[in-house]
Chains A and B, each alone.
Chain A
């Protein structure tokens, strides 16, 4: 039996892999499978998963909800909830195959929806309001509908994950039948609470997906920081926290990707103190404001979105991460062997430095709803009547 309840934050070691095609050409599922299976020893059969981008081109304007449910009743509740809160375009069971070693899997279904908005929000018809609403809805399902979890909710992408070795999970979800312009994969080695399908990676929010090898020792601090902004950490894993931090820093606070990475794995004060003035001010402010977003502890993460793949290590590089490229294909993985298994002769192969993100974005305009986070975007700060830190503009020395 499997269950959807967890008692404590779980801890795991892992193997990760990711591939992106810069021109948006589709990569067959076998390729990522080969890379992750090469890192077999990094998992123990208690969790594996895949994120695939570009798999629903015909429904690319709809949020694709991959829902995992313990039973029919839970699914019905989800459907009732979606009927009420979304415009449902299409739904179907996620195709699966029976696998000998996978006993009693949960039910999987996908729904292609757009959230219903309040009149006022709808008037502006902006994507931000839609995204915000979608985040709320996902949080609500995960928190309130017992036995059901939304495992991915982005457009034109989806997550397939469960308890098993990567090859078993791939077979179960028929990964070889999908083609994607970005793939990430995960092979899990949990050290407690095994048998938890929701605990497998990737973790997602909207089209952010994360695979993660590590343990985030600052989990308690991060979770509390995120709660201030209305995120509810229901899955009790540190990876979930990473997904929400990205959403907050990049989507909501408009930080460029590079700075968001630097907020999560910041340079040391001794380095900041040596920077030229403008840069020093920037990084000092970044650390002061986003101390709650610092991911402390060993980690190597890959995260993807509709338009890019990013690899990031913790600030002292306590977990392995290798990157490579050949032509328009870029690879990232825990081990060089995983990359060489699918690309024996890369043009470039390197080990990214501690805290230095590897950001690979696709060329402009090659996929639908393409996103780019390289530039800063205007901040939407919630307005409050507070005068915390108020200084009359005439006396404020900051520009």
Chain B
């Protein structure tokens, strides 16, 4: 008898098999990459190891006779308001292993979700709502640095620009795909994102893992990322997209670098990332060439020089307490857009404590940054991209009304391709073929399927955004930007409303 492993005594999920329906086809055994379903060859029957079940529902979804139900494990601890099963089990895990608690996705705690306390306006009588089925409705958005004023000249009785604008990025829909690296997610998902971005007229972001050779053709819809690990970074990569994002931090784990567990580093990943097969890719917490804002300026201009000033440089930070001042510094350091990733932003792997407790909600951060840049008289010169916990088109509308130019979605795009939020991306065993590089598992999600689902999602959201704009009586997204008049709070405190710059419903 070894040391008891307390964590394994109390599984999270319970696999219920309906024997009257089960035909013992063993599909569940094949589908479960965690080994929770077992075929007993001797007894010719199926067994379950509940401790291995992560609650991904793959077996349930794939069972041809619908003979499986995944439930929360019914076994209960004695109720205690403070010592809930979550804390008890976490302590068991750490007592068993002595390690950092790991998890995936974004903050799972029920902090107040400000999006859910904001309602939108619509026209009645005094101004007419506009019908997007019958009138043009515009979502086109330009990201990048803007001059203060236009210089116009008249030539042969016609007006024209005296000086053209510097390069800007055109988005046909103000929704981009957030940085998710090849490695964290499968090549198929990356291919789906890239194709969807191209057909939707928007951008996807390579994340920190470099760019697979097959994806260079989507360059005009690509943002490449330069993070602290500098994985997969070379000049062709920098030149491959239309923008380079310097990742300082991310909402799921502010203050630390990216994690790609060695389990996920296969041959192909190793080539793209330029690291040995099977090695953990742990990015340092800081960029070791950025210890201050002036160093950031140095890197921004190093990247601009390297790409002949043809690419925009974004700087992405996690929304932390002092986000407004930091964002202002970033704009002043020469960034073309500032990306803010809130508390609820997702990840493939993060320490649980970081995911759940570090950073501030994106709604408050957008408003604070927008306000700060306005106070400094520079808001109209730059772009704010917001991300972290955007779940629906209404969240997009609210984020823009709070002051964002565009948003990134990550988790939503993964749910679109089948993710069930089991929060075990870091294991590399994603049974849905999303957050894995296992050659067998990735077959479960072909690139065409990924493309279609992601494309459909954003197309549907775009349509809903048009409907909401029309209801508000505006026919172009720029009239929503920072337009707090379109928002009212329900159930927020005075202080929260002051930060969000919204009035309470009824006011």
Contacts and interface: CB of A to CB of B under 8 A. Distances in A.
Contacts of B163: 398-399
Contacts of B395: none
B353 interface: no
B79 interface: no
Interface in B141-165: 142, 144-154, 158-165
A343 B462 CA distance: 49
A389 B473 contact: no
B479 interface: yes
A269 interface: yes
Given A281-B160, A289-B147, A388 B382 contact: yes
A95 interface: no
A282 B479 contact: no
Interface residues of B, number: 60
Contacts of A228: 374, 377, 379-380
Interface stretch (A21-29, A39-47, A176-184, A249-257): A249-257
A220 B149 contact: no
A290 B146 CA distance: 10
B400 to A, nearest CB: 10
Contact of B160 (A191, A278, A297): A278
B379 A217 contact: no
B472 to A, nearest CB: 6
B150 A289 contact: yes
Contact of B152 (A8, A254, A279, A390): A254
A389 B145 contact: yes
Contact of A395 (B168, B309, B374, B474): B309
A218 B145 contact: no
Which of B136, B138, B146, B479 has the most chain A CB within a 10 Å cutoff? B479
Interface in A248-289: 252-256, 258-259, 266, 268-270, 278-279, 281-282, 284-289
A391 interface: yes
Nearest to B477: A291
Contacts of A103: none
B478 A294 contact: yes
Given A253-B149, A315-B475, A388-B378, A399 B144 contact: no
Contacts of A269: 136, 138, 140
Contacts of A1: none
B130 interface: yes
Contacts of B331: 386, 388
B380 A225 contact: yes
Interface string A195-238: 00000000000000000001101111100110111000000000
A388 B381 contact: yes
Interface stretch (A86-94, A105-113, A164-172, A375-383): A375-383
Contacts of A215: 126-127, 473
A228 B378 CA distance: 7
Interface stretch (B8-16, B246-254, B482-490): B482-490
A389 B164 CA distance: 12
Given A316-B130, A399-B164, A256 B159 contact: yes
Of B127, B161, B382, B482, chain A has the most CB atoms within 10 Å of the CB of: B127
Given A219-B485, A288-B142, A298-B128, A382 B148 contact: yes
Nearest to B503: A8
A292 B380 contact: yes
Q: Which applies to chain A's interface (DSSP): helix, strand, loop or mixed? A: loop
B332 interface: yes
B480 interface: yes
Interface residues of A, number: 66
Interface string A358-399: 000000000000000001100101100011111110011111
A28 B385 CA distance: 56
Contacts of A392: 309
Given A269-B140, A289-B147, A221 B478 contact: yes
Given A225-B380, A268-B136, A288-B142, A388 B334 contact: yes
A389 B308 CA distance: 13
A9 interface: yes
B145 A388 contact: yes
Interface string B306-317: 001100000000
A217 B150 contact: no
B181 to A, nearest CB: 29
A193 interface: no
Given A388-B145, A397-B164, A255 B150 contact: yes
Nearest to B484: A220
A318 interface: yes
A386 B381 contact: yes
Given A228-B379, A259-B159, A297 B127 contact: yes
Interface string A45-82: 00000000000000000000000000000000000000
B333 to A, nearest CB: 9
B482 A217 contact: no
B483 A288 contact: no
B58 interface: no
A259 B152 contact: yes
Contacts of A316: 130, 135, 475
A281 B154 contact: no
Interface in B452-494: 472-476, 478-486
A297 B471 CA distance: 11
Interface string B374-403: 100111111000000000000000000000
A13 interface: yes
Contact of B165 (A11, A219, A224, A398): A398
Interface in A284-335: 284-292, 294, 296-298, 315-316, 318
Contacts of A297: 127, 473-474, 479
Which of B159, B380, B382, B474 is most buried by chain A, counting CB atoms within 10 A of its CB?
B159
B486 to A, nearest CB: 7
Contacts of A11: 126-127
A281 B164 CA distance: 8
Q: Which of A11, A217, A269, A376 has the most CB of B within 10 A?
A: A217
Contact of A220 (B138, B374, B483): B483
A252 B479 CA distance: 22
A394 to B, nearest CB: 10
Contacts of A381: 147-149
B164 A298 contact: no
Given A217-B123, A254-B152, A296-B476, A288 B146 contact: yes
A222 B144 CA distance: 20
A255 B150 CA distance: 8
Contacts of B151: 379
B276 interface: no
Interface in A104-142: none
Nearest to B165: A285
A285 B126 contact: no
A90 B317 CA distance: 59
A221 B480 contact: yes
Nearest to A223: B485
B356 interface: no
A395 B482 CA distance: 34
Contact of A217 (B142, B308, B472): B472
B140, B152, B168: most-surrounded residue (chain A CB, <10 A): B152
Interface string A1-34: 0000000110111000000000000000000000
Contacts of A191: 125-126
A239 to B, nearest CB: 14
Which of A227, A254, A285, A398 has the most chain B CB atoms inside 10 A of its CB?
Answer: A285
21 contacts: A191-B125, A215-B127, A217-B123, A217-B127, A217-B474, A219-B483, A220-B484, A259-B159, A279-B158, A281-B164, A282-B152, A288-B168, A291-B479, A292-B380, A294-B476, A296-B476, A375-B154, A379-B151, A388-B334, A398-B164, A399-B163
Given A278-B161, A289-B149, 6 more contacts: A217-B127, A217-B473, A287-B478, A389-B146, A389-B381, A391-B309
Q: 7 nearest interchain CB pairs?
A: A398-B164, A389-B145, A291-B478, A218-B479, A220-B485, A220-B483, A296-B479
